[in-house]
Structure 1
Amino acid sequence: MKHRLADLAGKSILVTGASSGIGAATALALGQAGARVALAARREDALAALAGQICAAGGEALVIPTDVTVEADLERAVARTLAQFGRLDGAFNNAGVLGKVAPLHTLSTADFSAVMQANVYGVFWALKYQIAAMRDSGGGSIVNTASIVAQLGFADFAAYTASKHAVLGLTRSAATENFAHGIRVNAVSPGPVATPMAEIGFGSLDNLHASLKLTPAGRPGTPEEIAQPVLFLLSSASSYINGQGLVVDGGFSVV
């Protein structure tokens, strides 16, 4: 039987937060699977370099400088994807920020709002325009990046934790509204992954590795280990999965 991840070939997929970490690894994996990938993030130079890698791997890439805290940027990202590729078959809403790492009572309203603007409003706006485009073209699959903190609570990460709980709520509501229209909406919930964001959150990569020694995996995940589950959720191999938050954490959350 043909592996159904192969059905990503030729599909048009928009990735936010594509300039580094999980977003970049997923975009590259999509390109290697033959997808046409729209790359959205703030750093145009990083996107251009990634686009070169995707094209070298046999894929097709479109660079769209995007700030997910600006609604018009997300509307434009979807519009440019449609103009270039003719349709939108999938999306990976991965862009987000960690925010200030500090006890809740010390956070300012501005600290909290900055995280909500990127992690919650950014996903809401992305879904708004992506779903409209997919309804017009007959369906698709959307994956949002949540986090294991969407199931747990972490000291000093109140704003980030609240935002990722909200991402799961948006995911589940959108999933119930759109399955009948051929659109599935799921989330991936990574555990600690060796990315620039995790380095900030844990103080250093050495601290990240040290803090995970007693967990089942004994190490952080890699961006590529998150990318492959995202490809699964974007493909028809997951056709009966909808409204779920797939935890990919090496067993971190069961300890």
Structure 2
Amino acid sequence: MTPSPENPPAARTIVITGGGTGIGKATARLLLARGWNAVLAGRTEATLVQAAEGHPNALVVPADVTDPQAVDSVFAQATQRFGRVDVLFNNAGIFGPAVAIDELTSQAWDEVCSINLTGAMNAARAAFAHFKLHGGGRIINNGSISAQVPRVNSVAYTVTKHAIAGLTKSLELDGRPYRIRATQLDIGNTASDLLDDFGATQGALQPSGQRVVEPTFPLAEAADAVAYIAQMPLGTSINQFTITAGGMPYIGRG
């Protein structure tokens, strides 16, 4: 039955962690333009507000994903404003220092783990509980090509992103009875600030010892990949999705 103009379908709602910058920001703007509600969560309120651009269907919620109570508050505020959440884009993350393991400090390791892993767990836990109460939902975990093959001097980032693969598979398995679907989205060299952390646009260190300026692809195309997964019916699972810049070092990492 086609909805009448007097009874249009309700807008769907997505929570985006790390929503103030990079792919989180691009995804929020794309889905808002397509009629979604978007809840932008992150540590810096100013960047979240700038990303939301005053859109009436955007909700800005400053929150640190390493704090489970703050993450629970994101979902509580989203539910209060929009009724329910349909999708979590579990996107917040940092690269950390580009060093070998013997040069990685315990403080740097703890920081990368707290955001990339504990933060992802906190958001997934809150989403899972919400979706169990509301008939299902979809969790999109932002992995990385480093979840499949490491980049030189990326041990902290690589270990945490490999853990995202286990998180995603566990969510998909444990979520089956509740129509909760989970996707690991592995993105390679989209044009964001993260690339500057390991020098991909100036010359990234390769296994050969050379430095190579690597290809990139637009943020808008990465956001479109997130939107594609987000809009899929819950009768369909997309367990893993890889999208990279054409020609970038990937298989064997150069």
Instruction: Place the TM-score, normalised by the shorter chain, in its bin.
Output: 0.7 to 0.9
Whether the 8 Å contact between 1:212 and 1:220 is mirrored in structure 2 is no
Unaligned 5+ runs, structure 2 = 3-7, 205-210
Determine the C-alpha separation between the residues in 1 that align with 2:69 and 2:39: 16
Equivalence for 1:150: 147
Equivalence for 2:207: none
Match status 1:68 vs 2:69: no
Whether the 8 Å contact between 1:15 and 1:94 is mirrored in structure 2 is yes
Determine the C-alpha separation between the residues in 2 that align with 1:165 and 1:117: 15
Whether the 8 Å contact between 2:116 and 2:160 is mirrored in structure 1 is yes
Equivalence for 1:168: 165
How many residues are matched?
A: 238
Match status 1:194 vs 2:191: yes
Instruction: Choose 66-75 or 157-166, whichever is displaced more.
Output: 66-75
Higher helix share: 1
Match status 1:248 vs 2:254: no
Determine the C-alpha separation between the residues in 1 that align with 2:65 and 2:212: 31
Residues 11-22 of structure 1 aligned to structure 2 (within 5 Å): 11-22=12-23
Whether the 8 Å contact between 1:36 and 1:61 is mirrored in structure 2 is yes
Whether the 8 Å contact between 1:146 and 1:245 is mirrored in structure 2 is no
Could you list the per-position Cα deviations for residues 36-84 of structure 1 after superposition, in whole angstroms to 9, with x for gaps in the alignment?
110001121121122226x2xxx60000001112222111111111111
Residues 202-241 of structure 1 aligned to structure 2 (within 5 Å): 202=199, 205-207=201-203, 211-212=212-213, 219-236=215-232, 239-241=235-237
Change (3 A) 1:239 1:223: farther
Determine the C-alpha separation between the residues in 1 that align with 2:9 and 2:152: 39
Instruction: Choose 103-112 or 23-32, whichever is displaced more.
Output: 103-112
Give the match's secondary structure for 1:206: coil
Q: Percent identity?
A: 29
Whether the 8 Å contact between 1:8 and 1:34 is mirrored in structure 2 is no
Query: Which amino acid in 2 is paired with 1:229?
Result: A
Instruction: Choose 175-184 or 8-17, whichever is displaced more.
Output: 8-17
Determine the C-alpha separation between the residues in 1 that align with 2:197 and 2:144: 16
Query: Which amino acid in 2 is paired with 1:20?
Result: T
Could you list the per-position Cα deviations for residues 179-228 of structure 1 after superposition, in whole angstroms to 9, with x for gaps in the alignment?
231111102100012211111221x73336x8355xxxxx2022111111
Give the match's secondary structure for 1:236: coil
Query: Which amino acid in 1 is paired with 2:242?
Result: V
Determine the C-alpha separation between the residues in 2 that align with 1:9 and 1:29: 18
Give the match's secondary structure for 1:38: strand
Could you tell me the TM-score, scaled by structure 2's length? 0.87
Partner of residue 108 from structure 1, selected from 93, 105, 108: 105
1:9 Cα deviation (Å)?
A: 6.8
Unaligned 5+ runs, structure 1 = 214-218
Determine the C-alpha separation between the residues in 2 that align with 1:222 and 1:154: 21
Could you tell me the TM-score, scaled by structure 1's length? 0.87
Equivalence for 2:36: 35
Give the match's secondary structure for 1:152: coil
Could you list the per-position Cα deviations for residues 91-113 of structure 1 after superposition, in whole angstroms to 9, with x for gaps in the alignment?
10100011111111111222111
Whether the 8 Å contact between 1:68 and 1:74 is mirrored in structure 2 is yes
RMSD: 2.2
Whether the 8 Å contact between 2:202 and 2:213 is mirrored in structure 1 is no
Larger Rg computed on CA atoms: 2
